[in-house]
């Protein structure tokens, strides 16, 4: 309940002040006083006067009435209508489903501003028009959320149980299904209200919303823009009010969702993370915690997202294996965590916490100190990662010297530590004189030279033959056990995962589709892609079954479930993007996993 307190108090104060505006001793917000134009401060106008001499405080408070009324009314209309449509579509399927989902698709085809222009042209600007436009714009979001949730809820045993009791459909929908989908709908409502406040301001700013002289925050920003250089605070006040309101609303709705959900859903920080990623440290600091990581690459054909909304954590002494076919975004995710993305790529959103400190917003010198020190990386191809014109020993020494003064013969003892026979002689060898397995051991020696607490190994055994592969994996497991080192192991091989992984995250087309303990995921895979990957592993009597098709390219993700075009279980419902569902400590991104498991 304490989580409700602060955001609730802020929202209550804003709403109360807006509601009580007519009773407060304020100036008339539309009366002009050109003599006091752009006054910074007056005894009866603590926030000054605007370009027409109108009182800024009064306009802020009256503006809140317009902005909040529009946002709340429009979002509520969208929430009620959208939830009803999604509920009916998901429950009855057939024609209601077609009308709800295709109708939502059609609405989503219109760019918001274009739709607003169209409606304003037809209906004329004004508050009523604005509410209508915003309600239409937010309707598809509610339809899709309610629809996806209903599909998931209707497969639950408790819904079947109520049906078996002979309860009428209306009662099942209102008393059993609706309370269970209320959480996501509430979150959607919080987002819609916050977004509607912003969009109302935007549309009013463009002259498509609230009609002057009625004050609204958008109108105030529009007016302040013209006098920005003489009176910058005129722009500041509506912007600050807008930001505080949106933040408080988001936090309030998320806390409300938690308070209403007896199962104790995710904490409100998730929403704050979305609004201001990286602001809060992780609750129980893991060694590495990645939250909502999205990577973008600018290509000639447009911006692509090879990694999207990726979250995982690694504890000290544990290994998280990331598996998936080529092109699923594993390496890009690892490079983003290390801060080694190629120039064309950038982290678009998310946060990366290492030992309680946020990395993505840390200055580059601090990140450089960590790389090769507390966190190290081993790459796939040991030949191209070793400098051909330096001897092995010199390269290992260099890796140590990047962080501290190397002790005498330290390089040799490191080579011996990673199982290289006759290390003193090997230290004088050139990279091309060593076998692939030896070179990979050298790379590992360089990575562990400064006793990292986290090792990211990107397909460290792919280039090696099976026996050498096993030896390298044993070495990594030993290092992890001895030093309590956490490890992120990226691999194509499920055999490798089974051998060294504690947890596994299965990636497909930039997203995690399933995550959980290796034992659980391998013995009871829930996502069809995980099952398909497991079936593709040759196994004694059974023939390996390849997965038909290939991972789609980042510029051509399917609109719904990204695996659907290759999935033998795909149905019409898979046109809706599946959320990442958390069940019993496992994560699954599939709308049909329960049906498939049944």
Residues forming contacts to ligand ATP in the complex (CB under 6 A) are: 297, 299, 306, 324, 326-332, 342, 344, 492, 553-554
**Backbone phi, psi, residue 475, to 5°:** -60, -45
- If the CB atoms of residues 64 and 304 are measured against ligand ATP, the closer one turns out to be 304
Residue 497 CB, nearest approach to ligand ATP (Å): 14
Closer by beta carbon to ligand ATP, 50 or else 458? 458
Q: Of the two residues 91 and 312, which places its CB atom closer to ligand ATP in the complex? A: 312
Distances in whole angstroms, Cα of residue 40 to Cα of each of 31, 48, 222, 232, 328: 17, 4, 18, 10, 56
Contact 529, 567 (CB under 8 A): yes
> 332 or 472, CB closer to ligand ATP?
332
Residue 145 Cβ, how far from ligand ATP at the closest point, in Å? 29
Nearest residue to 140 (alpha-carbon basis) of 120, 170, 117, 110: 110
Which is nearer to ligand ATP, 215 or 324 (by Cβ)? 324
Backbone phi and psi for residue 296, each to the nearest 5 degrees, phi listed first: -120, 145
Q: How far is the CB of 541 from ligand ATP (least distance, A)?
A: 29
Quote the tokens at residue 317: 């002494």
- Tokens 């023939």, residue? 543
169-183 per-residue burial string, b: 16 or more CB within 10 A, e: under 16: eeebbeebbbebbbb
Q: Give the C-alpha separation, 279 to 276, whole Å.
A: 6
**Distance between CA atoms of residues 288 and 352, nearest Å:** 7
- Pick between residue 111 and residue 342 the one whose CB is nearest to ligand ATP: 342
Task: Report in angstroms how near the CB of residue 346 gets to ligand ATP at its nearest.
Answer: 11
Positive or negative torsion for Cα 147, 151, 154, 158: negative
First to last CA, the chain: 38
CB 1 within 8 A of CB 259: yes
Measured N-to-C along each axis, helices 466-483 and 436-447 cross at an angle, to the nearest 10 degrees, of 20
Pairing type for strands 486-491 and 454-458 reads parallel
Q: Which lies closer to ligand ATP via its Cβ, residue 236 or residue 344?
A: 344
- CA dihedral of residues 457, 462, 464, 470 (deg, nearest 10): 60
Q: Which is nearer to ligand ATP, 187 or 297 (CB)?
A: 297
Q: Is 495 exposed, middle or buried (0-12, 13-18, 19+ CB in 10 A)?
A: middle
Cβ-based nearer residue to ligand ATP, 405 or 556: 556
Nearest approach in angstroms of CB 21 to ligand ATP is 53
* CA 11 distance to own-chain centroid: 26
Least distance CB 202 / ligand ATP (angstroms): 32
Q: How far is the CB of 197 from ligand ATP (least distance, A)?
A: 36
Q: Provide the minimum distance between the beta carbon of 337 and ligand ATP in the complex, in angstroms, as a whole number.
A: 12
Least gap, CB of 116 to ligand ATP (angstroms): 35
Distance of closest approach, residue 304 Cβ to ligand ATP, in angstroms = 6
The DSSP call for residue 429 is S
Nearest distance from residue 348's CB to ligand ATP, in Å? 14
**Phi-psi map region of 549: left, alpha, beta (phi>0 left; psi -120 to 50 alpha):** left
The whole-angstrom separation of Cα 351 and Cα 349 is 7
Please identify, using beta-carbon distances, which residue of 144 and 589 lies nearer to ligand ATP.
589
Angle (deg, nearest 10), helices 56-92 and 217-226: 130
Q: Smaller CB distance to ligand ATP: residue 154 or 330?
A: 330
Nearer to ligand ATP (CB atom), residue 175 or residue 553: 553
Helix, strand, coil share of the chain (percent; to 5)? 55, 15, 35
Cβ atoms of residues 502 and 494 within 8 Å: no
């Amino acid at each position: 309940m304490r989580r409700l307190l602060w955001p609730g108090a802020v929202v209550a104060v804003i709403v109360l002040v807006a509601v009580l505006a007519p009773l407060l001793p304020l100036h008339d917000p539309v009366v002009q006083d050109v003599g006091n134009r752009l006054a910074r401060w007056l005894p009866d106008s603590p926030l000054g006067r605007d370009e027409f001499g109108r009182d800024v405080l009064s306009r802020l408070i009256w503006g809140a009435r317009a902005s909040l009324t529009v946002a709340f009314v429009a979002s509520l209309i969208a929430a009620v209508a959208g939830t009803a449509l999604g509920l009916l579509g998901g429950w009855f399927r057939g024609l209601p489903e077609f009308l709800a989902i295709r109708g939502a698709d059609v609405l989503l085809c219109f760019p918001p501003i274009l739709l607003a222009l169209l409606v304003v042209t037809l209906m004329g600007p004004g508050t009523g028009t604005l509410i209508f436009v915003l309600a239409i714009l937010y309707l598809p979001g509610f339809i899709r959320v309610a629809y996806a949730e209903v599909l998931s809820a209707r497969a639950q045993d408790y819904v079947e149980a109520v049906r078996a009791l002979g309860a009428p459909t209306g009662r099942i929908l209102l008393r059993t299904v609706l309370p269970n989908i209320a959480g996501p709908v509430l979150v959607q409502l919080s987002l819609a209200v916050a977004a509607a406040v912003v969009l109302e301001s935007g549309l009013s700013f463009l002259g498509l919303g609230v009609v002057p002289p009625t004050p609204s925050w958008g109108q105030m920003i529009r007016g302040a823009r013209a006098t920005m250089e003489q009176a910058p605070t005129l722009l500041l006040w509506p912007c600050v009010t807008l930001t505080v309101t949106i933040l408080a609303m988001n936090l309030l709705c998320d806390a409300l969702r938690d308070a209403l959900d007896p199962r104790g859903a995710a904490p409100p920080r998730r929403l704050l993370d979305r609004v201001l990623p990286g602001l809060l440290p992780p609750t129980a600091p893991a060694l590495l915690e990645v939250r909502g990581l999205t990577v973008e690459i600018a290509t000639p054909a447009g911006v692509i997202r090879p990694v999207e909304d990726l979250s995982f954590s690694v504890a000290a002494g544990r290994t998280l294996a990331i598996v998936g076919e080529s092109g699923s975004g594993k390496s890009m995710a690892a490079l983003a965590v290390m801060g080694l993305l190629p120039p064309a790529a950038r982290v678009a959103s998310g946060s990366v916490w290492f030992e309680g400190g946020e990395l993505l917003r840390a200055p580059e010198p601090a990140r450089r100190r960590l790389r090769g020190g507390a966190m190290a990386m081993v790459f796939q191809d040991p030949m191209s990662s070793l400098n051909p014109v330096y001897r092995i020993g010199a390269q290992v020494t260099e890796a140590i010297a990047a962080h501290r003064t190397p002790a005498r013969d330290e390089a040799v003892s490191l080579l011996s530590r990673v199982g290289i026979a006759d290390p003193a002689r090997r230290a004088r060898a050139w990279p091309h004189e060593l076998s692939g397995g030896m070179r990979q051991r050298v790379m590992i020696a360089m990575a562990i030279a400064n006793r990292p607490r986290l090792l990211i190994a990107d397909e460290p055994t792919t280039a090696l033959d099976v026996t050498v592969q096993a030896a390298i994996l044993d070495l990594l497991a030993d290092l992890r056990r001895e030093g309590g080192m956490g490890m992120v192991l990226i691999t194509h091989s499920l055999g490798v995962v089974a051998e060294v992984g504690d947890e596994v995250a299965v990636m497909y087309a930039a997203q995690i589709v399933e995550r959980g303990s290796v034992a659980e995921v391998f013995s009871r895979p829930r996502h069809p892609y995980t099952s398909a990957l497991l079936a593709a592993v040759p196994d004694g009597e059974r023939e390996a079954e390849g997965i038909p098709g290939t991972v789609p390219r980042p510029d051509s993700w399917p609109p719904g479930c990204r695996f659907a075009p290759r999935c033998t279980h795909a149905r019409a419902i898979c046109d809706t993007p599946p959320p990442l569902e958390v069940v019993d400590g496992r994560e699954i991104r599939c709308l049909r996993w329960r049906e498939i498991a049944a």
